[in-house]
Structure 1
Amino acid sequence: MLLRLPTPATWQLTALSGPVPDAVAHAPDGTPRRFAAPVPGDVHMALRSAGAIDDPHEGDNERRLAWIGQSDWSYETTLEQIDTTAERIDLVLHGVDTHAVLRVDGDERARLSNMHRTWRVPVPELAADAVALRIDIDSPVAVATAERDRLGARWSVFSDLSPFIRKNACAFGWDWGPALPGSGIWRRVEIEAWSTARLSALRPTIRLDGVDGVVDLDVELERSGAVGSDSALIMIARIGDVGVQVDVEPGAVHAHARLDVPAPERWWPAGLGPQTLHDLVVTLTTSDGDVLDTQTRRVGFRDLVVEQVDDEVGRSFGITVNDVPLYVRGFNWIPDDTSLAAVTEDDVRRRVAEARDLGANLLRVWGGGVFESDEFYRACDEAGMLVWQDFLFACAAYPEEEPLRTEVEAEVRENITRLMPHPSLALWNGNNENLWFWFLHDWEHALDGATWGEGFYTDLLPTVTAELDPGRTYLIGSPSSGGRWDDPNDPTRGVVHWWIPDDYRAYDDVRPRFVSEFGFQGPPARVTFDAVTHDADPAPFSPGTVQRQKAEGGTERINDVLAAHFGVPRAFDEWYWLAQLDQARAVRYGVERFRSLEPFCRGTIVWQLNDCWPALSWSMIDVNDRFKPVAYAVREAHRDRIVVLRHEVGVPALFVCNSTSTVWSVDVDVQRWRPDSLVERCSLRVVAEPHRSTRVDLSVIAAALAPDELLIATALAPDGPTRSSLLGGTDRQFPDRVPAFELNVEVAPDGVGIRIDAHTLLRDVTLLVDALDPDAHADRNVITLLPGEHEIWRIRTAHPAVFTPERVRAAVRTAHAASDPDPDYRGLAQLEREKAARSAAAHG
């Protein structure tokens, strides 16, 4: 039987060469300094644990710690002798970042060159004695620089190094994350001792045949190479009471089995049904019945179709599961920390649960990161969270020359095999924006014939996917209109990325079929920001704030939208709150706009769910696990049944959105308000058909809204009231009364309950609970209350005593125009025009 053993959890780390500070490189006596290094882990984690560096996320430490990625490092440990008579003893490294040489007792045993692969290295010496194991890791910056210089530079949005090394591209910096390229052993290292043969790959293709389930199982074997290892074997595959036995011919390294499972319970995405999983157990034995290897995969039976149908408008894009059309409500997922190994299984499960809490039924694992951990996909299986899986190419032209091509194929084959058993896995996507950039940035001429990844996306990836995972759809890229030569970001066909340059109300001008990226930036929770920035006088463009903003022109764009809606406040505290609220408004506006187009539009994937460091970014949840106001706003927009108000050619319209399989008959209360009074009110009976949005003309109550008027629609859905608000103009034109409300606090079993009774119209009421307890969590936020209404917030906190009425009242925020707007704010577009004019004048 295959024996699997762990290796030491702590190794020794030493700097080999590079611009390493002497205090890190050498001990006081001049000898090389050695650090206890966790495995899995990375250099940043080890040095920080030892106190040799400060938190990479704080202040400008990103810049100060650039030397880590420019240096070579060595990991060392001792592997103890194994008491075994096994024919093979393998060292299995599930993730080394990135280019490394592995030595056993000083002898080179293997060269590693891809962080996205598993490496298996025979170490027969362990049968006789302990061995010294050493892994020397080259500077990723130096390796990528050398490859760039050898192959020639390629076009890239962010780093010109990331395309030249099979490492997570975002480690070199992105428009939401820092440049902290590191090194390490980022996934577990094991020893496997085995004889005769082992199961090296299991690939179950699972489908439904009527009510019954079918599993087509392809298996790869590795033979030990010892005498007798080419003998006949037996493979047994079983799900519950259903099993099949297959004879494996002498010397064969492939086997196939089919299991017919009568009427299995189906697996459903979140909100549609249970997430029933079944254990597929595969056992390899000798002809005498001795067990050689056993592996288990948790599988689910579901019929998932990615629909791409040409119609009179263009080409649809949607996902149907078990014959139920799904309106996708998703988030883009990025690596959850700059140190990948710091993310625990508990972290992953909590984050997936938070995505479901925010109404999501899909996560897109974005192509500038990594193929996620096994725990991630298991958590998605159990939560009913579909996974859109990118292959790892993003925002750059990728060379296709060797050895990169061989590495790409190896990582793709391994990860397709690893991930395909998961029922949550919905589709494979070839790249993020690279096909689009070929058109957008004229790569045909800019690259002058250099390779850029086209062969990967149009040949290698679809070929290998069809071979290994024939039951799933391969999409050439995101965005994509379906083919290589189609305009990739055509909203009438396929999937689009829709980034609004100035005002989010421009979402009303587009009718997409599916949106796989869109969003808007906002600050993290204030306590998260204050913990890492140390400006004496914080401001939108003070040094600490600038360090948190990685998008070129990002804060200027925040201010542009603030200027359009609220005005740009002079006071930083007010700016911070209104920037948070503006993000919430912008993303909710986009989600609701696209929901109002169902079934023409079949889904949205918001950019982005999570953060990897404290930043002004597009995330819903900041790096310290605090919900931003946008998270609550999007959760409301993600509900199965919502009402949405919009202007259509200046006339208000109501959309009743029903993304369920049953008719929704509902009374909608529509009110027209001025800041101090209700002007008009009516009730409308609406019958909303399943899986579509129903438009209702509101000319009966308001042919048009004055700039200082507000329309509010409210309906009672089975899971509670849904409400939408529509200003006739902007917040700058709606003079809110001074908020008046009664507030009561009561201690609850896990925290406090806070009741707010509104005496005036309160728009977008939000409790910034992190101001009272950094670890507190509110169950709701961004709520509009009419006079006479009340709402109860449930606050999870271990410190209920700090939630006094006076302190809670100080933490309440509502929507309002900026109290002291900057009258000189000119906007990013105006600044760019002035810059262009100055440049033109300087050049005559």
Structure 2
Amino acid sequence: MRHQLLSRATWTFRDASTKKWLPATVPGCVHLDLRQAGLIPDPFFGTNELELQWIEERDWEYRARFKVDAQLLGEEIVELVAEGLDTVATVTLNGKVVARTANMFTPFRWDVKKLLKPGAQNELLIRFDSAMAYLRENHNAHTYREFNDPVGNSNRIRKQQCQFGWDWGPRLVTAGVWRSIQLEAWSTNRLDNLVVKQVHDAKGGVQLDLTPELARPDADAACRWKLQLDGETVATGEGASIVVPDPQLWWPAGQGAQPLYTLTVDVVDATGTKIGRWSQRIGLRTITLDQSKDEWGEAFRFLVNGRPIFAKGANWIPAHSFVVGLSRADTERDLRSAVEANMNMIRVWGGGIYESEDFYDVCDELGLMVWQDFAFACTLYPVNEDFRELVRPEATAQIRRLRHRASLALWCGNNEVWMLNRETVTDETKVEIRSAYEKLFHELLPEVVAENDPATSYWPSSPWRRDGVHGHEAGETSGDSHYWDVWHSRKPIKSYELWKFRFVSEFGMQSYSSPATNATFCPADDTNVFGPTMENHQKNAAGNQIILDYVSRQYRFPQTQDDLIYLSQLNQARCMQMGVEHYRRLMPRCMGALYWQLNDCWPVASWSSIEFTGRWKALHYAARRFYAPALVSAHVPGDEQVTIGNYRKSTMDVAHLYTVYDAPEPTRGVMSWDLMHIDGTRLGGGTKKVVLRPGEAVKQKTLDLHKLFKKTSHDDVYVRIALEIDGQRVSEETVLLASPRFMHLPRGKVRCKVKALDAHRFQLTFTSPVLQHRFAFDLGKLDYRASDNFFELYPNESKSVVVTLKRKLTAAKLREQLTWRSLVDTY
């Protein structure tokens, strides 16, 4: 096969209502091209987003002029291959219409040999009609509620749904050639794809069965293959099966290694002529969704190579509002941060895109299992057959593209469509709606999965329970749950502990991004969190009020806005820690916790644990601790209540201490606890030798504090818990027995020693004479990564942290940027 990349051609674009052509980049999109031409401001800065809504109402044309290689034209078939057109496109080659498309997610292939001019300039013109015009003119009988589109009807088009606005993202409805476009030429036959079926036996053996998929069926086609690992050839041969010698299994992060074999297969015809080559990296593993019956109902857990895995992770949204042209580094930054926080699963959320090859490469390499939603989110979709026929080739292409991925764990039909529209779908007067829903998510999609990737499990919606049973109670016995009583319903954070869910695939709490990130989009005179710019960068209608509500329940009124930002992040981390540790303590009844959300697509106040700039929020540092393979965790079943007269009453008189362990090999450790007065006096404590077994959460100790609180206030006591393995402290936490705002936190001077390890790395050692609760340091606008932050700084104990900077710096210059605060410093 011969190729000619058309991205190397000379591309121009224009507003179709004008005559002026401007330089364009392909792959790309109209917003980026307009920005490059100096015709629009930075869409992320200030409130510029509001001034750019006119772009979605225009039609845009992209034009390429190129000559075709003579050898390419000598082939029997020459095809124009467009991997991604966004979205309503008319493709014209040398004045002849090739095709009209209306799906951003489907790759297209057209035979265009007869339209090409040898030895002369060819012109490819792609007109992108306004998505808004399409919405007004197509599927307009479908008028069901939109949840995140402020204008409405974005569900009528097969286009990235969050382009139309979401409660964490801007409305920037773009157009363009967003993935590669090229000419491909071939004769006789073409290798389209290859099916690799893994057969694992009980003794650890692995066989790979190969089935080529050809443009023209050929029963005589044969495979010649080579299997390599780490650059070394481990097997070569011919035929439809490979017995892998000494197979090395792929495991999720924290469960083992991630060996990736390179499988290269040449497919030849009966004469021995090569039809094509397929070469990909694969991991030898099995991943299944286990829903077997158990003592609590029906399991919902992932088995990897037969081993039950507690899924620890977060939800992924597109890494940028403009998904074109993102490099591997743009996604690897946050995916690597996920693994550094002990995560092993990422849920690719259905309102975004099917991610790039780079994304899945990184997941394969790092051991991040991928829960892959199909690209549907929240709202009902059109009921007609024309719409479903747009979906079928989309699903087929994406499944065939990703099915060989070691990281692929699940295909999921949609995000929250059933949950948010259950009353409509189950309304007996609207049977056609339920029928249409089921035809798409219970018939078409599982059928396409079964046809193209039978090895991967399918789940119709998230959340979902078999037979569509609704309610928190149902989530305690089967399926996956989204729990939003905390945040959207403003329930107390201890509400997490009310339910024993089987798997929790969404739950979250918002916080503000750091002052350094806010400075990247806020004009100097408009930085107030309630001002126009920050309100534009807060996409949840009640977001600021809910943040303040939860912050006020836990913390005192802050002195400055920077203190408020810090408190919002502490609150977010505290909420997610309470939820995740509760779910982990329920293991093996609960076997997954994926919080909302890992990343941002622009600088914004959101539920993310990593800011758009890559900075870790307090939550991400906390996640590294609460997702640790060996965890010590406290459950305090009591609570604080307010009685008539605003008097406080506490029942937080008991603390149950647990060990949670999900590493693959058993070990032993020592759990310790210290009852501490806030003034530094030790009031009691103890140690216990513990056995840690994979997949076990064990209540190791109950502390009865009733007698203590007859002498001492809840406001003056904390419990320090820790777990050591082989003399190394692997988990540690401070257990508070009162709301932090009521605690009499001491003030003390913090000292810091700065030691240069090299030009980019420094060791910071902090000490304090008193407890510094959730001590956090910052380096201003410097781009850095810290080994720890937002930690407990205990009295008279040094805490060393290593920071790594992007650019070289001296210790003296670093110290100039260094600031810190703990909770007591905010009021």
Using structure 1 for the length normalisation, give the TM-score. 0.89
- Using a 3 Å threshold, how does the CA distance of structure 1 residues 139 and 342 change in structure 2: closer, same or farther? same
Letter paired with 1:490: G
Correspondent of 2:148 among 138, 145, 158: 158
2:657 is aligned with 1:670: no
Tell which deviates more after alignment, 404-413 or 273-282: 273-282
Aligned amino acid, residue 628 of structure 2: R
Counterpart of 1:643 in structure 2 is 632
1:435 aligned to 382, 404, 418, which one? Answer: 418
| Structure 2 residue 455 is the aligned partner of structure 1 residue 471 | yes
Question: Could you tell me which residue of structure 1 aligns to residue 741 of structure 2?
Answer: 732
How many residue pairs match? The answer is 787
Tell me if structure 1 keeps the 8 A contact 2:631–2:661. yes
User: Do the aligned partners of residues 710 and 62 (structure 1) sit closer, same or farther apart at CA in structure 2, a change above 3 Å counting?
Assistant: same
Aligned partners of 2:236 and 2:754: how far apart in 1? 59
Cross-structure match for 1:828: none
Cα RMSD after superposing both structures:
2.3
Q: In structure 2, which of residues 696, 713, 719 is the aligned counterpart of residue 692 of structure 1? A: 696
Q: Does 1:216 align with 2:209?
A: yes
| Contact 2:287 2:305 (8 Å CA) reproduced | yes
Q: Which residue of 2 aligns with 1:752?
A: 762
2:385 matches 1:396 = no
Q: Which moved more, 1:520-529 or 1:799-808?
A: 799-808
User: Whole-Å Cα distance in 2 between the matches of residues 734 and 446 of structure 1?
Assistant: 56
Against the structure 1 CA distance between its residues 692 and 611, is the aligned structure 2 distance closer, same or farther, given a 3 Å change threshold?
same
Aligned amino acid, residue 731 of structure 1: P
User: Could you say which residue in structure 1 is the equivalent of 2:803?
Assistant: 795
Q: For structure 1, which segment, 742-751 or 793-802, has the greater mean C-alpha deviation from structure 2 after superposition?
A: 793-802
Q: Which moved more, 1:168-177 or 1:441-450?
A: 441-450
1:155 is displaced (CA, Å) by: 2.1
Instruction: Find 2:336's aligned residue among 353, 372, 375.
Output: 353
Could you say which residue in structure 1 is the equivalent of 2:522?
533
1:244-263 pair list within 5 angstroms: 245=238, 257-263=240-246
Distance in 2 of aligned mates of 1:580 and 1:266 = 39
Q: CA shift at 1:120, angstroms?
A: 0.8
**Residue identity in the other structure for 1:712:** R
1:786 equivalent to 2:794? Answer: yes
After TM superposition, give the deviation of residue 343 of structure 1 in Å.
Answer: 1.5
Contact 1:13 1:73 (8 Å CA) reproduced: no
**CA-to-aligned-CA distance 1:368-391 (integer Å, 9 cap, x gap):** 111111111111111111111111
User: Deviations for 1:624-657, whole angstroms, at most 9, x for unmatched residues?
Assistant: 1111121111111111001112212431111111
**Residues 477 and 231 (structure 1), Cα distance of their counterparts in 2 relative to 1, 3 Å cut:** closer
Select which of 589, 608, 627 maps to 2:616.
Answer: 627
Question: For 1:10 and 1:646, how far apart are their aligned partners in 2?
Answer: 63
Post-superposition offset of 1:367:
0.5
In structure 2, which of residues 28, 34, 40 is the aligned counterpart of residue 53 of structure 1? Answer: 40
The answer to whether the 8 Å contact 1:764/1:814 transfers is: yes
Give the unaligned 5+ runs of structure 2: 229-233, 639-651
Shift of 1:445: 6.8
What is the letter of the counterpart of residue 791 of structure 1? K
Residue in 1 that maps onto 2:718: 710
- 2:14 equivalent in structure 1: 15
Counterpart of 2:68 in 1: which secondary structure? coil
Describe the SS at the equivalent of 2:795: coil
Native 8 Å contact 1:9 1:40 kept in 2? no
C-alpha contact 1:707 1:733 (8 A) present in aligned 2: no
1:242 shift after superposition = 4.7
Kept in 2, the 8 Å contact 1:82–1:126? The answer is no
Alignment correspondent of 1:823: none
Equivalent residue number for residue 293 of structure 1: 276
Alignment CA distance shift 1:806-1:164 (3 Å)? same
Contact 1:566 1:818 in 2 (8 A): no
- The answer to whether the 8 A contact 2:88-2:103 is kept is yes
Alignment of 1:375-386 (within 5 A): 375-386=358-369
AA aligned to 2:460 is I
Q: What residue is the counterpart of 1:69 in the other structure?
A: 56
Structure 2 residue matching 1:755: 3-state secondary structure: strand
Shift of 1:762: 1.1
Please give the secondary structure, in 2, of the residue aligned with 1:270. coil
Work out whether residues 680 and 701 of structure 1, in 8 Å CA contact, stay in contact via their aligned partners in 2. no
Does residue 1:118 correspond to 2:97, yes or no? no
Q: Is the 1:300–1:422 contact (alpha carbons within 8 Å) kept by the matching residues of 2?
A: yes
Q: Work out the CA distance in 1 between the residues paired with 2:662 and 2:219.
A: 56
- Matched-pair contact (CA < 8 Å) for 2:508–2:607: yes
Please state if 1:492 is matched with 2:473. Answer: no
Q: 2:118 aligns with which of 128, 134, 152?
A: 128
**598-607 or 288-297, which deviates more:** 288-297
Shift of 1:471: 1.1
Q: Report the alpha carbon displacement of residue 482 of structure 1 after superposing the two structures with TM.
A: 2.8
Cα deviation for residue 774 of structure 1 reads: 3.2
Q: Which residue of 1 aligns with 2:224?
A: 236
1: distance between equivalents of 2:772 and 2:9? 55
Matched, 1:681 2:672: no
CA distance in 2, matches of 1:609, 1:703: 43
3-state secondary structure, aligned to 2:564? helix
Alpha-carbon shift at residue 137 of structure 1 (Å): 0.5
Q: Aligned partners of 2:431 and 2:52: how far apart in 1?
A: 36
Letter in 2 for 1:482: R
In structure 2, relative to structure 1, the CA distance for the partners of 1:314 and 1:178 (3 Å cut) is same
Residue of structure 2 equivalent to 1:836:
none
What whole-Å deviation, never above 9, does each CA across 1:764-821 have from its counterpart, x for those lacking one? Answer: 111122x1x3312222111102111111121222253476586455x212123852xx
Q: Does 1:329 align with 2:312?
A: yes
SS at match of 2:496: helix
Shift of 1:221: 1.0
Equivalent position of 2:579 in the other structure: 590
Cα distance in structure 1, aligned partners of 2:659 and 2:771: 24
CA distance in 1, matches of 2:136, 2:797: 62
Say whether the 8 Å CA contact 2:425–2:433 is kept in structure 1.
no
Q: What is the aligned counterpart of 2:782 among 774, 779, 783? A: 774
In structure 2, the CA distance between the partners of 1:437 and 1:704, relative to structure 1 (3 Å rule), is: farther
- Distance in 1 of aligned mates of 2:452 and 2:815: 62
Say which SS state the counterpart of residue 467 (structure 2) adopts.
coil
How far apart, in 2, do the equivalents of 1:818 and 1:785 lie? 16
Q: Distance in 2 between matches of 1:148 and 1:579?
A: 43
| Deviation sequence 1:703-737 (CA, Å, 0-9, x none) | 67643121111222466431122211111110211
On the 8 A contact 1:438/1:444 being kept in 2, the answer is: no
Write the letter of the residue equivalent to 2:739: T
TM-score normalized by structure 2? 0.91
* Matching residue within 616, 620, 641 for 2:605: 616
Could you tell me which runs of 5 or more consecutive residues in structure 1 were left unpaired when the two chains were aligned.
19-24, 26-31, 224-228, 247-256, 820-844
Displacement of 1:116 in angstroms is 0.5
Give, in angstroms, the shift of residue 33 of structure 1: 2.6
Task: Decide whether aligned partners of structure 1 residues 33 and 113 sit closer, same or farther in structure 2, where only a CA change above 3 A counts.
Answer: same
* Cα pair distance change 1:345/1:597, threshold 3 Å: same
Report the alpha carbon displacement of residue 282 of structure 1 after superposing the two structures with TM.
2.3
Separation (CA, whole Å) in 2 of partners of 1:245 and 1:806? 64
Question: 2:322 corresponds to which letter in structure 1?
Answer: S
| 1:3 and 2:2 aligned | yes
Is the CA contact (8 Å cut-off) linking 1:458 and 1:484 kept in structure 2? Answer: no
Q: Secondary structure at the match of 1:288?
A: coil
Partner Cα distance (1:231, 1:578) in 2: 66
Judge which range, 297-306 or 795-804, deviates more. Answer: 795-804
Cα distance change, pair 448–473 in 1 and its aligned pair in 2 (3 A)? closer
Contact 1:331 1:362 in 2 (8 A): yes
Q: Does 2:179 match 1:187?
A: yes
Shift of 1:616: 0.4
CA distance in 1, matches of 2:707, 2:663: 31
Once residues 117 and 226 of structure 2 are traced to their aligned partners in structure 1, the CA distance between those partners, rounded to angstroms, is 34
- Whole-angstrom distance in 1 between the partners of 2:2 and 2:681: 74
The residue aligned with 1:764 is: 774
Mapped contact 1:315–1:481 kept (Cα < 8 A)? no
- Specify the code of the residue in structure 1 equivalent to 2:703: S
1:147 aligned to which of 138, 147, 159: 138
1:167 partnered with 2:154: no
